[in-house]
Chains A and B, each alone.
Chain A
Amino acid sequence: MRLKCPLCGDRDRREFYYYGAEDYLHRPAEGAPLADWDNYLHLRDNPAGVTKDLWYHEQGCAQWLVVTRNTVTHEISGVELVAERKA
């Protein structure tokens, strides 16, 4: 598997650390109800198809990445820097 780091370019999967769904980026505001925290911490979709998840270029530029990929075809359609993400 290969990922195209927006900074470092096309790299082997072994340089990256996998974290989990991009939900971790959507941190509830201070004082949000516990249900929001439960959702943020624990509830995850498991799509057969396009998904977005977080990878860390650990043996590279140390940037966190949002990777859009298809769990069925393994196609990677986008890699974005967390620090410069648009959404």
Chain B
Amino acid sequence: MPELIAKSALDGQAPLTLGGVTLAEAAVGPITSIAVLPGGAKAVAKGLKPLGLAMPGPNSFAEKAAARILWTGRDQAFLIGVDAPALEGAAVTDQSDGWAVLALSGLGAADVLARLVPLDLRLSAFPVGRAVRSGLNHMNAVILRTGDYAFEIMVFRSMARTAWHEIAAAMEAVAARASLKS
């Protein structure tokens, strides 16, 4: 009988801190896609109620205890951190293994991301609680603002190394720029 050992996308990768910004792989637990079928909204709302969550509006996420619900598209959300409840009225698909989640935090986190994503990251335009689908260079990504100076970035698992490499390169450049001022 084979013993199947689980490995995360960036198994063994130590966090990287440069210029006050830290990049680390985050373990977020189960990820379940909930795609509401036509006419299924009420049933889904009922199913999510015990979690204290509802389907989020576009470009946002909400949290309750260990659970997070994240808008990912029209009539679609990812439930993260808890096992999905039984849901009527929706297509429910396990996405836990499909994504790598990177946490980027520190005063210059937005400066680092500004090298990689074509988004308006000003706090006024991208406040805490916002989650968008966009691109991290050539990669599709989901980007969440979890704090004034903290982001989580979800990319397809197979591209985790590229995402890490590109974010790290941006961190290096931002840190090197900071050294110019001194």
Contact = CB atoms under 8 A, between A and B. Distances in A.
Interface in B104-148: 118-120, 132-135, 140-141
A67 B8 CA distance: 41
Interface residues of B, number: 14
B133 A8 contact: yes
B74 A81 contact: yes
Interface residues of A, number: 16
A47 to B, nearest CB: 29
A15 B135 contact: yes
Interface string A46-79: 0000000000001111110000000000000000
B96 interface: no
B74 A83 contact: yes
B30 interface: no
Contacts of B133: 8, 59-62
Given A7-B74, A15-B118, A59 B58 contact: no
Given A8-B58, A9-B59, A60-B133, A14 B73 contact: no
A61 B118 contact: no
A43 B19 CA distance: 56
Interface string A3-17: 000011111101100
Contacts of B119: 11
A14 B118 contact: yes
B74 A8 contact: no
B58 A7 contact: yes
Contacts of B134: 8, 11, 15, 59-60
